[in-house]
Structure 1
Amino acid sequence: MSEWLRPFPIVPVIVCDRPDIAADLAHALHDGGVDCAEITLRTPRALEVLAAMTAGAPPGFVVGAGTVLDVAQADRAADAGAAFIVSPGFDPDVVDRARDRGLDVLPGVATATEVQRARRAGLRAVKLFPADLLGGRAAIDALSAVFADTGFVPSGGVGPHNAADYLAHPSVPSVSGSWLAPRAEIEAGDLARVAERGRAAMRLRAAS
């Protein structure tokens, strides 16, 4: 499975429209032991947030773009400084463009057919989305029994209540979720608990 995910057992999903606090948010995550962030392209200024975080993050912090739906968004994310992109589904054109731009890519899958398509494209890690609605840990058990060389990153319904259980699975290199930095707190400029949640999340990884 893709080794680029191994240093990042927790991938925070960030929905933010405030470039002015992007660097502070990266430092708060880093202080909590979390050294990556997925900036979702769901807000008008998301690309500005991505660029500001990339420019102001601590050394070694990796920033990617999430909710990448097409080739044009992949290009804009690359131009803004993204190191990786995440998609809700599998689009071979997006995968190819990400690779052309030198980005790691994590496409979403919901079925065995989509996993096979991702493997045919040379990928060995996919995002299982929406994980909770697809069966959670049981779905990963079933899929990994067939696709033993593939990593599954659950996203959707993942939080402190189930992250450790997911991470204990040998086919789960990382989990993805928004609980570390809730949107309402970010928009309010309240980053006080981000580092605390990060440390708690990393303890979940250590315990898994």
Structure 2
Amino acid sequence: MQDLQKRVGAVLALAPVVPVLVIDDLAHAVPLARALVAGGLPAIEVTLRTPVALEAVRAIAAEVEGAAVGVGSVRRPQDFVDALKAGATFAVSPGSSPGLIAAAREIDLPWLPGAATASEAMALLEQGYTQLKFFPAESIGGATALKSLGGPLPELRFCATGGIGANNAREYLALANVPCVGGSWVAPAAAVKAGDWAKVEALAREAAALK
């Protein structure tokens, strides 16, 4: 468990922003990831929200040098298996469950479980998790809530995700318990659809300079 948590921590330390991607067209996966890596955001989360998500992960893992690609929206134990087979280097969930916690212990894949309350964070800490996702961040108190959690739970680190963009990312990144934030603003749907990879790279470069 400690080794897996260290590996999660290493991913979260790669850049101040983890792009959270919903990839509808498999042809976009590799050029999109290359643009993000070129802009300084090597840790990339591809959510399991589309039929091509796992194929996108497989393509990025195989073809994009320097990318640390993970699978997001993990909700079932089988998702861990599928993610590892696709070449993912980490997995992310919006929350946690007994079934997911048990499955995560049986597979060599770093996992970032989600927590929205102090009770959920404490329950995960009891299971050995010190690297968590804070979701949905803006809806559950934002940076103010995360700062409050830092007092009684100083050993926890959070990747805040949900409602975060260029306008408020710095507020989160200024906190000692937030190594990075997750967001989709660095890969706008219109730019991706148009294949405007220069735009994506420019946004990634701005995001990489946030901290």
Q: TM-score, normalised by structure 1?
A: 0.92
Could you list the per-position Cα deviations for residues 26-62 of structure 1 after superposition, in whole angstroms to 9, with x for gaps in the alignment?
A: 210111011111000001111111111111111x310
1:45 is matched with 52
Residue 111 of structure 1, aligned match among 108, 113, 117: 117
Distance change in 2, residues 1:95/1:184 (3 Å): farther
> How many residues of Structure 1 are paired with residues of Structure 2 in the alignment?
204
Contact 2:33 2:44 in 1 (8 A): yes
Secondary structure at the aligned position of 1:159 is classed as coil
Query: Who is 1:149 aligned against?
Result: 155
Q: CA deviation at 1:140?
A: 0.4
Alpha-carbon contact 1:92-1:121 (below 8 Å) kept: no
Asked whether the 8 Å contact 1:65–1:82 carries over to 2, the reply is yes
Q: Counterparts of 2:195 and 2:105 in 1: how far apart (Å)?
A: 35
1:54-203 map, 5 Å: 54-58=61-65, 60-203=66-209
Q: CA deviation at 1:99?
A: 4.2
Q: Distance in 2 between matches of 1:7 and 1:99?
A: 24
Asked whether the equivalents of residues 16 and 180 of structure 2 are also in contact (C-alpha less than 8 Å), the reply is yes
Query: How far, CA to CA, are the matches of 1:176 and 1:113 in structure 2?
Result: 22
State percent identity of aligned pairs.
42
What is the RMSD computed on CA atoms of the aligned residues?
A: 1.5
Judge conservation of contact 1:85–1:103 (CA < 8 Å) in 2.
Answer: yes
For structure 1, the residue ranges without an aligned partner over 5 or more in a row are none
- Partner residue, 2:35: 28
- Tell whether the 8 Å contact from 2:150 to 2:177 is kept in structure 1 after alignment: yes
Q: What secondary structure sits across from 2:83 in the alignment?
A: helix
- Structure 2 unmatched runs, 5+: none
Equivalent pair of 1:14/1:183 in contact (CA under 8 Å): no
CA contact (8 A) 1:16 1:186 kept: no
Give the 3-state SS of the residue equivalent to 2:54 in structure 1: helix
Q: Following superposition, which runs of at least 4 residues in structure 1 exceed 4 angstroms of deviation?
A: none
Give the whole-Å Cα distance in 2 for the aligned partners of 1:185 and 1:95: 37
Q: Partners in 2 of 1:7 and 1:82 — Cα distance?
A: 16
Cross-structure match for 1:12? 19
TM-score, normalization by structure 2: 0.91
Deviation (angstroms), 1:197:
0.4
